[in-house]
Structure 1
Amino acid sequence: MGIVHVVGLGPGDVDGLPVGTYRLLQSGWPVILRTAVHPVVASLPELGVEYESLDDIYETSETFDEAYARMAKRVRERAKTHDHVIYAVPGHPLIAELSVQLLLTTTDSDVVIEIGPGQSFLDVAASRLRIDPIEGLLLLDGTQPASRLLNPRVHTLIAQVYQRQVATDVKLSLMDVYPDDYQVTVVRAAGVAGEERLETVPLYELDRLDWIDHLTTVYVPPVQDAQLTWRDPFAAVEIVETLRGPDGCPWDRKQTHESLRKYVIEEAYEVAAAIDERDPDHLAEELGDLLLQVLLHAQIASEVGDFDVRDVFARLSEKLVRRHPHVFGEGTAQSVDEVNAIWERVKEEEHAKQESRQSTLAAVSFAGPALMVAQAVQTAAAKVGFDWTKLEDVWGKIKEEMNELEIELVRDRRRDAAVAEELGDLLFACVNVARFLQLDAETLLAEATRKFIHRFQYVERRVAEGNESWAEISPETLDSYWNEAKITLPREN
């Protein structure tokens, strides 16, 4: 059985080499270096240490993941032919060392892994930057930048920024959260006498430094201006919590789920209107207003222990994964129709786990605009065969409802309940036509309303241009202006 002694060479030169590592390196056992590109390596011959480098694996691998997997495999192979093998890596064995993690997670009864001493670059970097990690420290891998991992409230160190292209990727990720001119500090060869370098630059200049190499780390200090945290999603959560707090806003503190109900609906419609306007900035603003309603309800619920915003996120994520087995599971879907079929099947399985439902319409949500609910009800009824067989029959129904409405109107009972009933039946029949044509009735009405608004505004302008009075202008003139609008304005308006 072979033993692999994993040790760290520290972040700097040989003067910072841990004593335990020094003794192991001089033990006479075979030494394997993850890389010979390290300040300590130049001093190893003086210590009488012979070594094997794994740099050749970097040169023959297409990805870092592949390289580190091959390194772990080679180290294990060497351990099977020697009682003791030393595997030396830069820094500390357990910090930013994927090859070591792979050694630890690979099951092999013939090889034992022992983690030895090592000094992390974190210690030296914190000392040079004069920061205390206890205030909050985020350590990230520069080769895998992800803006969603950033937290602007804490110290951030980004390691393995070994070339300018990596620095470019890091810069772009940071710019998702921080201003372009935010001051960051680039640290090179921390702890190496004669080679150490620190320089503070605006974020946009990060990848313009020509001395970035394998010993480079980027430090991003925590923001001091609260406004700079606003791009972080949890900043809004904290603001809402403050608004609901003892020293917050009287209006916000007074709200309940019930009092906010109308605002949820109103903001949803505002989002829909912004979508119709095709104005990205306005849409972003309205989506924020809608999100505010979510955060308010989550905060109110958290105050009584019902749920909090993380529960909302968790339930959403769980549902998205459950309803997309073709993405997160073993299922497959190559078309929208196949996706829809999967979605309906999963929803049916969810309903089957709930209480038995006696009505076909039990699964229909009646929360929503009347046109939308009508279309959903008709769709549910159609699934069990309660539907028209062809479009001509639906059109005939519209004519029937129109005749019945006309009969009631002729009776001059315009305010009578019968008129309202027949008018409702006519609207319901129109929704049926839209559904039969696979069109969304709610969208159709919104588009028709928007078209009317644009044309009416055109008529208003024509009236104003002629200095005419609405009270005196003739119906014929208004009709001519309306016809002009139909010809002049783009069809989508």
Structure 2
Amino acid sequence: MDQTNELFQSLILLIRTLRGDNGCPWDQKQTTESLKVYLQQEFQELMEALEEKSSEKIQEEMGDLIFLLLFVAEIAREQGDFSIEDVLENVKEKMIRRHPHVFGNLEVKNISQIRKNWKKIKEKEKLLASQQTLMDKLPRHLPVLLQAYWAMRKVDEMGLNEGGLPEAMEKAIHEMEKFRKSLANGDHEKARYELGDLLLTLVRLSRLLKVNPEEVVKEAVQRFINGVHFIEKNPLPKNEEKENFL
């Protein structure tokens, strides 16, 4: 633990040196706003490393992401907003609060009970916090498909979406028909609107199937690219359909 604390403090001091008077001009001019793009990039690279199950890459990308998170905390400290100590203390207290079966006297029999209790504690925390609408809570820094997935989950939890998978399938078919009619009528503005509704319905389907829509689309894009690459490298026989490879 002492070595961890020492390394942690040395990294914070390194960031302060980079931001200091004799530091790096690029680091000195960074803001929390300008760092957002790098945070998104490093998070995506960590996700890719996890997918590849490469310990070396995971370690590297975790380091890059931790560095940027500490960088953001240092900027916040400079501005008097909060410090990395505040961040660590808040998350420590939250995790202790949400694990009363470990740090308290609550007895649980299985993981299902742990999840139910976790949800109750989160709901209690929400009541103590300022009241916010669904729009206020929307995690806007997530990719749009995951924003939609998050919104669908919240709406389902509120009981505003009725039915399960069969009803969602019917809804998707209905939205597809409205989209088709809009195109047939030459109303491209209406078609654009209906396409949005159709995509949102498909995201709800992915939620009901417990499938990450971002991952599904990523995999589909990769299959498509692989198919195009195959066609580029291997001209198809005359009787072979391109659809078999795309």
TM-score by length of 2: 0.86
2:179 matches 1:405: yes
Matched residue type, 1:273:
E
CA distance 1:403–1:302, change in 2 (3 Å)? same
Q: What is the CA-CA distance between 1:456 and the residue it aligns to? A: 4.0
Deviations 1:323-360 (A, max 9, x none): 22222222234433322212211111111112244x46
* Structure-2 separation of matches of 1:388 and 1:332: 34
- The answer on whether the counterparts of 1:364 and 1:380 sit within 8 Å (CA) in structure 2 is no
- The answer on whether the counterparts of 1:459 and 1:478 sit within 8 Å (CA) in structure 2 is no
* Structure-2 separation of matches of 1:152 and 1:318: 19
| 1:315 pairs with one of 85, 90, 98 | 90
Instruction: Tell which structure's C-alpha radius of gyration is larger.
Output: 1
| 1:419 pairs with one of 191, 200, 203 | 191
2:3 matches 1:150: yes
Partner of 2:59: 284
Partner of 1:437: 209
Partner of 2:158: 384
* Structure-2 separation of matches of 1:426 and 1:409: 14
- The answer on whether the counterparts of 1:274 and 1:286 sit within 8 Å (CA) in structure 2 is yes
Matched residue type, 1:419:
A
* Structure-2 separation of matches of 1:481 and 1:325: 55
Deviations 1:192-215 (A, max 9, x none): xxxxxxxxxxxxxxxxxxxxxxxx
Matched residue type, 2:120:
R
Partner of 2:224: 452
Larger RCO (alpha carbons 8 Å, 6+ apart): 2
- The answer on whether the counterparts of 1:402 and 1:426 sit within 8 Å (CA) in structure 2 is yes
* Structure-1 separation of matches of 2:238 and 2:20: 58
2:120 matches 1:345: yes
Q: What is the CA-CA distance between 1:294 and the residue it aligns to? A: 0.5
Q: What is the CA-CA distance between 1:431 and the residue it aligns to? A: 1.0
* Structure-1 separation of matches of 2:62 and 2:241: 38
Q: What is the CA-CA distance between 1:398 and the residue it aligns to? A: 0.8
Q: What is the CA-CA distance between 1:317 and the residue it aligns to? A: 1.4
* Structure-2 separation of matches of 1:276 and 1:246: 40
Unaligned runs of 5+ in 1: 1-147, 154-231, 484-493
Q: Tell me the secondary structure at the aligned position of residue 245 of structure 2.
A: helix
CA distance 1:438–1:312, change in 2 (3 Å)? same
Deviations 1:469-491 (A, max 9, x none): xxxx78966728727xxxxxxxx
Matched residue type, 2:160:
F
Deviations 1:193-249 (A, max 9, x none): xxxxxxxxxxxxxxxxxxxxxxxxxxxxxxxxxxxxxxx233322222211111211
* Structure-2 separation of matches of 1:234 and 1:443: 36
Deviations 1:1-47 (A, max 9, x none): xxxxxxxxxxxxxxxxxxxxxxxxxxxxxxxxxxxxxxxxxxxxxxx
| 2:169 pairs with one of 395, 399, 412 | 395
Q: What is the CA-CA distance between 1:152 and the residue it aligns to? A: 10
* Structure-2 separation of matches of 1:321 and 1:152: 21
Partner of 1:369: 143
* Structure-2 separation of matches of 1:152 and 1:276: 30
Deviations 1:109-158 (A, max 9, x none): xxxxxxxxxxxxxxxxxxxxxxxxxxxxxxxxxxxxxxx223797xxxxx
Q: Tell me the secondary structure at the aligned position of residue 150 of structure 1.
A: helix
Equivalent residue pairs, number: 246
Matched residue type, 1:438:
K
Partner of 2:242: 479
* Structure-2 separation of matches of 1:356 and 1:326: 28
CA distance 1:319–1:287, change in 2 (3 Å)? same
* Structure-2 separation of matches of 1:282 and 1:478: 39
* Structure-2 separation of matches of 1:454 and 1:282: 24
If each structure's helix is expressed as a fraction of its own residues, which one has the higher value? 2
Partner of 2:29: 254
Q: What is the CA-CA distance between 1:274 and the residue it aligns to? A: 2.1
Q: Tell me the secondary structure at the aligned position of residue 139 of structure 2.
A: coil
Unaligned runs of 5+ in 2: none
* Structure-1 separation of matches of 2:31 and 2:182: 45
Q: CA RMSD in A?
A: 2.8
Q: What is the CA-CA distance between 1:409 and the residue it aligns to? A: 2.2
- The answer on whether the counterparts of 1:459 and 1:481 sit within 8 Å (CA) in structure 2 is no
Alignment of structure 1 residues 97-176 onto 2, 5 Å: 148-150=1-3
* Structure-2 separation of matches of 1:152 and 1:300: 21
Matched residue type, 1:435:
R
* Structure-1 separation of matches of 2:130 and 2:200: 30
CA distance 1:333–1:361, change in 2 (3 Å)? farther
